[in-house]
Amino acid sequence: MNTTVNTPRNNGPVLLRVLVFTLIISVMNGTMFNVVLPAISKELNLSASQGSWIVTSYLIVYAIGTVTFGKLTDKYKLKDLLTFGLLLLAAGSVLGMMATQFWMIIMARIVQATGASVIPALSMIIPVRYFLPKERGRALGTTAIGTSLGAALGPIIAGFVTSALSWQFLFAIPLLALVTLPFYRKYLDDQAGLDQKIDYMGGVLLAGSVAFLLLALTNANVYFLLSGAVALILFIFRIRHAANPFVNPDIFRNKLYSLGIFITFIMVAIGFSVPFTMPQLLAALNDLSPAWIGLVMLPSALITAFFGRVGGRLADRKGNAFLLYIAAALLMVGFLCLSMVSGMSPVYIGFFLIFGILGQSFMLISLSNTISQTLSKEQVGIGMGLLSMLNFIAGAVSTAVIGKVLDHNQGAPSVYSNIFLVLAVLVAAMTLLYYFQFRRSMQKRAPGHSFHKEEKEV
């Protein structure tokens, strides 16, 4: 991406505030349906794995769209891409309001996801383009406020809207994102990337490989697996030989970046499992309505929103590694305690959920900031786009796998306890990998430099 054009950094604070509102709506659109999945599944006679497709289909398309929009920012103006995306999100929302059957819901979610996938590109580019490296932790912490508020408001609004009206009205809420469009048109710069050809064939092969492999996972279908493998092989061949590949393979030679996105993939999969599992647990074991499920999940999201900027400031002052270890400790405490109280009073569940949700927010701030600092200016657009894509693939994988686990165990109390125990073990493993491998890689990159100092210099 061409970054030689000077950008008006004084627009950064204004854009950040508008971005927070956009993220609230975007995250709400993703989390609202987690809460009402039990109600929709009951109304349409769906299994847990079938119901999970309301979330999974959204995440698959969102993931593909994210990297596609990230790549398109190399050529087109961000404000134009954003306009197209928000209008498409609105179209999907209107379609969803008219949905009465399962396939109509899936179609509406796919159209919504196609448009909404421009938002991750926006949330990554604004902190990088409009803020200095020493300020990006604070900027990412501010965007975390939008994410956390969306997570806080999503369940409670979904619960009350579903109880008072119906789940179809949830599709009307994303239309509020159109309010932000005039502000983006005014304050985003006219910077576009180089006038170069886009490797659309490479993009189609990447999208196909992602879609088929996820379909293979969720349906246990060998034909989808083979199709995904073929598409992936063709994609690798394409990017190695195309004149202007959709993804420049040189980016994967950056060991710090490759290791960072692997760790982030696992951590994000862990994080996405919580908002999907928790409503299932509270509905199956505590017999709570969507409104009460939202109330149980509300405190954790509100507290996370309140501490969002605190995490960003800690990353700027103490380093990303410091924040990551705090996040890992919070996650492990939260998951171990949730494992012990599954099936008990929702008060205990709501309290220990705070540790898990806050820990995941801090983890994403730390890892996103770390990865952004491993990329050169030319790699930022596609590098952060790939990161966003993998984040949502991780979410799709997580919800699909847990949906299958719940299907096979038919909501037994012990299965929820075991899920949280496995998540705690995974957090510990990824933290150790980060400590022993990522720090070692940084030390090899700059002998004699501390990890925190090297992060500031990248």
pLDDT digits (tens, 9 = 90+) for 327-385: 899 999 988 988 888 878 888 888 888 888 888 888 887 887 777 777 776 666 667 76
Alpha-carbon 96 to chain mean position: 22
Q: Using one digit for the tens of pLDDT, what is the confidence trace for 23-61? A: 888 878 877 777 777 777 777 777 766 677 787 778 778
Q: Let me know how long the chain is.
A: 458
Q: 70 or 255: which carries more pLDDT confidence?
A: 255
What number is the average pLDDT over the span 439-445?
53
- Residue 76: how many other CB atoms lie within 10 Å: 16
| Position 119 pLDDT exceeds 60 | yes
Q: What is the dihedral of CA 440, 445, 450, 454, to 10 degrees?
A: -130
Q: pLDDT-derived band of residue 133, with 50, 70 and 90 as boundaries?
A: low
Give the integer Cα–Cα distance in Å for 392 and 73: 19
> At residue 408, does pLDDT exceed 60?
yes
The whole-number pLDDT of residue 452 equals: 37
> Which tens digits make up the pLDDT trace of 182-204?
888 887 776 665 556 777 788 78
Asked if residue 19 has pLDDT above 50, the reply is yes
231-239: average pLDDT: 87
Quote the percentage of the chain above a pLDDT of 90: 3
pLDDT given for residue 379 in this prediction: 67
Check residue 87 and give its pLDDT.
Answer: 92
Mean pLDDT of the chain: 77
Question: Own/partner pairs for 237-245, CB < 8 Å, 24+ apart?
Answer: 238/199, 238/201, 238/202, 238/205, 239/199, 239/202, 242/199, 242/201, 242/202, 243/197, 244/196, 244/197, 244/198, 244/199, 245/199, 245/202
Tokens of 243: 């004149």
**What DSSP designation does 438 have?**
I
Report how far residue 49's alpha carbon sits from residue 297's, in angstroms, rounded to the nearest whole number.
22
The HSE-up count of residue 17 (CA atoms within 13 Å, CB side) is 6
Across 81-110, average pLDDT? 87
Q: How confident is the model at residue 438 (pLDDT cuts 50, 70, 90)?
A: low
Q: Higher model confidence: residue 219 or residue 229?
A: 229
Average pLDDT over residues 424-434: 89
pLDDT tens-digit readout, 153-191? 777 777 778 777 777 888 888 898 888 888 888 877 766
Instruction: Read off the pLDDT of each residue in 292-298 and give the average, rounded to a whole number.
Output: 77
How confident is the model over 381-406, as pLDDT tens digits?
Answer: 667 767 777 777 777 778 777 877 77
Spatial distance between the Cα atoms of 311 and 114, rounded to a whole number of angstroms:
30
On whether the CB atoms of residues 148 and 301 are closer than 8 A, the answer is: yes
Please tell me which of 21-30, 41-50, 88-97, 133-142 the model is most confident about, judged by mean pLDDT.
Answer: 88-97
Under the banding of pLDDT at 50, 70 and 90, the label for residue 236 is confident
